[in-house]
Amino acid sequence: MGEGIALDLTPKDPEDPITVDDIEPFEDQIREDDVSMLHTAWDEHYGLTPEYLFEFPYLTGKAAQYLADLNPKAVGTEGASVGGWDGEAPNHGPATDVQLDESHVPLLENEIIPIEEVRNLDQVLQ
């Protein structure tokens, strides 16, 4: 729990990466030990559909490290994971070649909590 900011990264399409270029314009607004929430509008796709479950926007490894260097307390996203779907499921292959650990490890190694499947961030945009 703590203070934070919702970053408006919209629009993001299915399987879009969240990059350093997306986050950099907000760098001066992200304070150390804040919670940084990444608004991509992906919660509008919420449900048990292949699009919501596998094709969500995700942090690249470089973007995850960039955020980790800013030292937030937590990073939240509306997708099913902060990392993209790189696995195999019946009727759905990988949505990215970015491995899950590339997005998670920079956060977790710096004790930054990833928060996933957040909804209604549009209501708290600054």
* CA gap 7, 46 in Å, rounded: 19
H helix or E strand, kind and range, residue 52: helix 50-54
**CATH class of domain segment(s) 4-124:** alpha beta
Inter-residue contact 117 to 80 (CB < 8 Å): yes
Structure tokens belonging to residue 122: 């549009």
Structure tokens belonging to residue 90: 């019946």
**Per-domain residue ranges of the chain:** 4-124
* pLDDT tens over the chain, length 126 residues: 789 999 999 999 999 999 999 999 999 999 999 999 999 999 999 998 999 999 999 999 999 999 999 999 999 999 999 999 999 998 889 999 888 899 999 999 999 999 999 999 999 985
pTM assigned to the model: 0.93
